[in-house]
Amino acid sequence: MTARTIPDRSAIPQEHKWDLTPLFGDDTAWQALYDRLESELSGYDTFRGRLGESLETLKAAVTFDLDLSRRLERLYTYAHLKNDEDKSNQVYLAMYQRAVSIYTRASELSSFMRPEIMAIPEETMQAYRDSADLADYRFHLEKILRHRPHTLTGPMEEMLAMSREMAQTASQVFGQLDNVDLSFGTITDEAKGDIELSHGNFTTFLQHPERDMRRKAFFQYYAAYENHRNTIAAALAGSVKADLFYARSRNHPTCRDAALFGDDIPLAVYDNLLDTVKTNQAPLFAYLDFRREALGLEDLHFYDTYVPIVGDVSFDMPYEEAVATCIEALAPLGTAYTSVLEKGLSGGWVDRYENRGKRSEAYSSGCYDSPPYILLNYDRENINSLYTLIHEAGHSMHSHLSCRNQPYVYHGYTIFVAEVASTFNETLLSAHLLKRYRDDARMRAYILNREIDNIRGTLFRQTMFAEFERRVHAMAEAHEPLTLQALTGTYRELLEIHFGDHLVIDEALTLECLRIPHFYSAFYVYKYATGISAAIALANRVMGGEEGACEDYLRFLTLGGSRFPLDELAEAGVDMRSPEPVAQAITHFGRLVEDLKETYRAL
């Protein structure tokens, strides 16, 4: 048997690569824009200290900043895409580093603008905002001015800015320990020999059909965290205390208030999510019990929750067929949507296949003046590649429609809504595949199992993470100590609440709270849970043929960042201020569980 080797970039046919010429015809054109932008950076100095001088000066400064930023994004996008094609290519690595450098310099030179805008007297600024001359920038200025009550004097702002690098120490310590210094040892697989255990293959081991292998990988993995538990607990406590420092410095009542303020998200949205999930756990418990029974186990441990209930499912779908499948699945959105997407996925949007040195995983990326590019490492024998394609296609169409319908200043959408379009697409794909394989019980069970585990991980698991963040920050705000025992004890309590007696809580699992990188970017994970809830609600509206549902959703995709995220989702037809979308997502999960049970019995 000939071993499969990863090809060099030069061996990939051109039609399988993305086409970056809409950005720059060649590297020489990139360099020309770089030189031009570098010479224009000094233009910020002409506005420093003058933004309150007149409406004309303010408008000229904002226009200059946005115009420069737009071209910088084009410069950066090309460099980072070229760099990701082959990480060993030193030419594009240098280009990428230069793009980051000039971007950073521009950010530093423009840093005076927000404080100066907020320093303009309120009556004067109100007159400016009411003027037709600033109509295009009204919401842009509103988002800046909202921060007035939380902005300090010039010297204090400078002091806070200087402290930021120091405040990252806890995160950096965790990152270095977690990604560099931790060693998880090796595991012997009878079929594959000795394999080094890592973050990358930990989940793969948890999907191993042999329980002894799963158990060994689980305890061996967490033994590394056990050996460093006190250090990591101190780092996590330090990160929480840094959040508290900045929240109080900026006069926010709590750390959560500070984190949610920028997107104008009420605390009730966060609390509704946590309360709704905790009071509607029956479908999750039913699934865990079914999983235990289907696997033939007396009790269920965490290391039993990733292995497919139905394994050995054969799948083989070439990229071209995957594109066709995605277009079929998204047909409810209409041909205006699918024709653009089909042309992009079949043309120059996508860098399809793995090559030596290429960045791993997948993403959607672009700028206002480029197509919404997609980086893939497509594997025709892995159904996850099909889901990844339609997921990233959701992001790309969101970007495409936002850029085509909004001016540059409002084209960028927030993280709060970013995962809605991608998860929406995945929901439609699962529904389509379940119809396609209606007569193949084994494949149906596999797809249902995959969809259930995806929702379980995104809705239920991330909500538990979000509650942990709320609790430990509340402890810090109440001056309670954040010791190792306090952190792991809090996490154990949440594990018991969220899994009841349907999962055996091994002591090692309480260390999970010490290995989640997102905890160093507090109050972020809840957006995964709200995002999938909104996506499921919107997808069910569209698939159910509800009047106006498709039009509402497509209009939502055109809004970019022209409104606050909750207002954009309301435009789409889902009210995330209410607990109802989360409850609907849990009901949807429960229906999938019952469908899986019935399908499994037919095997």
Domains of the chain in start order, with CATH, are: 11-151 (1.20.140.70)
Contacts for 51 with CB less than 8 Å, ≥ 6 apart: 57, 58, 61, 113, 116, 117, 120
Residues 371 and 344 sit within 8 Å (Cβ to Cβ):
yes
One-letter identity of residue 355: N
Cα 217 from Cα 462, distance rounded (Å): 23
57 phi and psi, to 5 degrees? -65, -45
Residues 78 and 20 sit within 8 Å (Cβ to Cβ):
yes
Residue 92: name the closest of 75, 107, 79 by CA: 79
Residue 529: name the closest of 470, 595, 473 by CA: 470
Is the pTM above the cut of 0.85?
yes
245 phi and psi, to 5 degrees? -60, -50
Helix and strand tally (H, E) in the chain?
25, 5
Q: Partners of 374 in the beta sheet?
A: 350, 364
Residue 419: name the closest of 470, 364, 478, 496 by CA: 364
Residue written as token pair 């992001």:
395
What is the predicted pLDDT for the residue at 4? 64
Low-confidence ranges of the chain (pLDDT < 70): 1-4
Say how many C-beta atoms besides its own lie within 10 A of residue 223's C-beta: 13
What is the C-alpha radius of gyration for the chain, rounded to an integer number of angstroms?
25
What is the predicted pLDDT for the residue at 2? 47
Dihedral class, residue 357 (left if φ above 0, else alpha if ψ from -120 to 50, else beta): left
Residue written as token pair 């007396």:
298
- First-to-last C-alpha distance (Å) of the chain: 34
**32, two tokens:** 């020309």
Handedness of CA 482, 485, 486, 488 (dihedral sign): positive
Residues 196 and 298 sit within 8 Å (Cβ to Cβ):
no
Residue 221: name the closest of 178, 189, 191 by CA: 178
Contacts for 585 with CB less than 8 Å, ≥ 6 apart: 455, 459, 532, 533, 536, 537
Residue 429: name the closest of 536, 349, 310 by CA: 536
Active-site annotation holder among 73, 392, 451, 568: 392
Residue written as token pair 């595991």:
187
Q: Which whole-number Å values give the CA distances from 320 to 335, 351, 360, in the listed order?
A: 18, 13, 21
Contacts for 315 with CB less than 8 Å, ≥ 6 apart: 381, 382, 383
Cα 299 from Cα 391, distance rounded (Å): 34
Handedness of CA 172, 197, 388, 348 (dihedral sign): positive
Residue 271: name the closest of 526, 573, 586 by CA: 526
Percent of the chain clearing pLDDT 90 (strictly above): 89
Contacts for 383 with CB less than 8 Å, ≥ 6 apart: 313, 315, 317, 446, 447, 450
Residue 19: name the closest of 70, 85, 64, 72 by CA: 85
Cα 559 from Cα 6, distance rounded (Å): 41
Cα 125 from Cα 534, distance rounded (Å): 36
Cα 207 → chain centroid: 23
What is the predicted pLDDT for the residue at 3? 53
CB-count exposure of residue 453 (10 Å: 0-12, 13-18, 19+): middle
CB-count exposure of residue 211 (10 Å: 0-12, 13-18, 19+): middle
Active site residue 108: no
Indicate the SS3 state at residue 363: strand
Cα 132 from Cα 128, distance rounded (Å): 9
What is the predicted pLDDT for the residue at 153? 79
**454, two tokens:** 């995806």
